[in-house]
Structure 1
Amino acid sequence: MTKVKYYYDSETLSYRRIEPKKGKKVVNISLFVLAAFLFGGICLLILLNTNLVNTPKELSQARELKNYEFQFELLENKMTQMEEVLANIEDRDNNIYRLYFEASPIPKEQRTAGFGGVNRYRNLEGFNNSDLIIDATEKLEKLQKRLVIQSKSLDEITSLAKEKEKLLAAIPAIQPVSNEDLTRMASGYGWRSDPFTKVRKMHYGMDFTAPRGTPVYATGDGVVTRADNRSSGYGEHIRIDHGFGYMSLYGHLSKYKVRPGQKVKRGDLIGLVGSTGRSQAPHCHYEVWKDGNRINPINFYYGSLSADEYEALLHAASQENQSLD
């Protein structure tokens, strides 16, 4: 019930009822509503700026943020796995591939170096998860750099492998006369008795005795540089430039099967055994040159002989007998 208020009237010496004014009542109601509205608005603003109450949009953004954090964690794990795989490849590259092809290893400091200088990640700063984003970005860029270095290294290894393949094909690695056509290995590299003067002198090649007309084969890939008799003592002879500092010579031939400038492969027929020039009997005098120096051909027959055959040839070549030229 509404309280009834009275006042004392001194003129009538009695209490009279106070009649409320209609305008004041409206003002009071209006002030109450305004105060309630202001109070509610202030409370709402406070709640909206705390974690107690979130709007649907904020809840959606929070879920997206959690999902992004989860995705970044997955990315971090994948990059860690990639680093381990790449480190294994780099280790094999340095200690197997580059070692085999005689290339200098790439220092670890060069492979894993960061990016110095200015702050590359300034545009990623100022966010709630800036540290996470910057760390992932930096790790990814370092991985990219290491992959580029490794890719260039493999390109270099590929180039070296091609050169190695050419080298292995070029090195004189077989006998110039096949075993089935060979009568005997008459004389080896070293000091031998000259067949004409009987004086001991250095014999710079190996003499393969075989019947006149026996095929003589190129012992490695190369280019024929000479096929003539204009070199003293060798008679009709052939010289093949194999590249990489190697040259082979085939002397005392009876016939040529190649011409100067012609490219040959290991095992190609290049001439026939004879006894031209300073020769005592039909044979092929064979020499191997490296960087302008004559070296022992016995070290270059790994491409055509078994272990037993090589041992027998080595024994025959070591005998200090009389050479045939």
Structure 2
Amino acid sequence: MRDRKKKDDNLLSMTSRRDNFFVRFIKAGRRKLTVMFIPHSEEKVVNIQISLFTLVFSGVFVLALLGAFFWFSTHYTGNRQQLMASRSNLRNSEASLEVVREEIDSLMKVAGSFNETLSKTLTSLGIDSSANESLARSQGDLSDFVNMIETDSNSNNEVGDLKKLRMSLDNSIEPLNEITDVLLSQKALLTDIPTLWPLKGVRGRVTNPYGPAIHPFTGEWYLHKGLDLGYGMGQPIVATANGKVTLVDYEKNGFGHYMVIQHKYGFDTKYAHMQNIYVKEGQEVKQGDVIGTMGNSGLSDGPHLHYEVRIGSQVLDPAKFINMTDNAYEVIKWTIEEYK
């Protein structure tokens, strides 16, 4: 019983002390403080009474207000710096975009020139160029459509130009493939007819062109049925077209060592006054194969190659066929003028 009573007394004592503390705290907080404002004139003194609680609350409020001000000020400064950086990046992006626009514009001009050249090429090769013309019309329609849907963003113009360029490239693939097929077929044709210069790696000199000429030994006029090309003993001679060797022979008072190759489409070529012949009758040769060397055999007044082109029994001017593949004909023309 005594212990229980003692505990109750202690509990009451603690409650009493706690109550006394709060009472003293409240009383202290309610104490009035007088704040005096004394003007320089000292005519009238302003007294303001304020409790300690109010003063503490006001101080906390002012400190909170100052903290909020500094926080917002710092945050605003950071945002302003970010905004300035964003504006700078935007200006740089606009400058880069302008460069891109100029490049796209130049690219579109080049594409237009390409399409125009492609159309002319198709026409010259006899290929229908209506696909390219429809492409140009579709590009115009697309441009009108892009202008109709244009918004505040100028990117639609660039996107439209890139779409037109893509369409141009896509539609150019088929015509280019057709051109490739034509060129390949022509290349195959040009390897089957005598269009190659007969001297390997050199032009040489036309010492006697095709046509009427004075015979170097008899001094009489006669029809020179080929080209005489001079360079030097041992100069490699090549087949001017794909074909088959039909004749290898020797004439002491004529062509000397000579040979004949038969080609497609009724063509035959003759190579005469040779020093050496590297092929045999019945042998297949390709255009550009070395078939022998230049010499001075037979009835000849110096090292040269006598080269003829025939269709059946008809003798033709070899220069007309050589002109199909390179500028050798210009050399022949210049030499003929000099020869005359």
Class of the TM-score when normalised by the shorter of the 2 chains: 0.3 to 0.5
TM-score scaled by length of structure 1: 0.46
The structure whose Rg is larger is 2
- Structure with larger RCO (C-alpha < 8 A, sep 6+): 1
